[in-house]
Homo-oligomer: A and B are copies of this chain.
Amino acid sequence: MKQPTHVSEAVIRRLPRYYRKLDELERRGVTRVSSGDLSQELNLNPSQIRQDFNCFGGYGQQGYGYQVSMLRREIAAILGLTRKYRAVVVGAGHIGQALVQYYGFEREGFDICGIFDIKPSLIGAPVGSLRVLSADGLTDFVRENGVEIGIITTQKDAAQSTANKLAESGVRGIWNFTPMDVMTGVPVENVSMNDSLYILAYRLQQ
């Protein structure tokens, strides 16, 4: 794999879609795919797809297309999906509990090994194979277990302080499900579910 020098944010944002589609094609037993086929499946311009893959060194052959399993593996490696990550969920409400019990993440290398809350009534409650722990122990847990990713599913008013606490405890990235954008010294991905609902409402007016 060619080590990419500078890859634009827009290309990076498309990589997960390529990855999911190639993963699906591989499961369906498809071995080769052209940029034209991918373009139809993904509703993207074929020349854009070729250009994106060129950023990372190509892998295609004129008139032959791309080898699905090789390209999937290369994109997985670029995204960092070839290793394991330990993660904790902070906020044991409905969304937090749903994430712990969604086993798709574990299959992809994201091991949620702790769920935390401040509410005494929730502490000790079973969630999947875990039990809710007191948020008082969050910092020690992150340090002792080499947790790299903090997932925030608290009330939105607690989102920023939780992000700060996670970053200070040593997580390397934050996945934020609250509708409050958070900023810290580590990378943050804000899921912003509400935003896509608002966009959908916008489309319904058109």
Which residue of chain B is the closest to A19 with respect to CB atoms?
Answer: B198
Which residue of chain B is the closest to A128 with respect to CB atoms?
Answer: B94
Interface size on A, residues (CB 8 A): 57
Partner of A16, one of B19, B24, B81, B199: B199
Q: Is the CB of A197 within 8 A of B202?
A: no
**Number of copies of this protein chain within its complex:** 2
Partner of A148, one of B12, B110, B195, B204: B204
CA distance A179 to B15 in the complex (A): 14
| B residues less than 8 Å from A37 (CB atoms) | none
- One of A113-121, A132-140, A186-194 contacting the partner: A186-194
A30 within 8 A of B: no
Q: A175-B196, A180-B24, A194-B108 are in contact. Are A81 and B201 (CB under 8 A)?
A: yes
- Give the shortest distance, in Å, between A29 (CB) and chain B (any CB): 15
Which A53-104 residues have a C-beta within 8 angstroms of B?
A: 78-81, 85, 93-95, 97-98, 101-102, 104
Which A106-131 residues have a C-beta within 8 angstroms of B?
A: 108-110
Q: Is the CB of A201 within 8 A of B85?
A: yes
Which A25-69 residues have a C-beta within 8 angstroms of B?
A: 42-43
Which A161-175 residues have a C-beta within 8 angstroms of B?
A: 172-175
Q: A102-B95, A108-B194, A198-B16 are in contact. Are A187 and B204 (CB under 8 A)?
A: yes
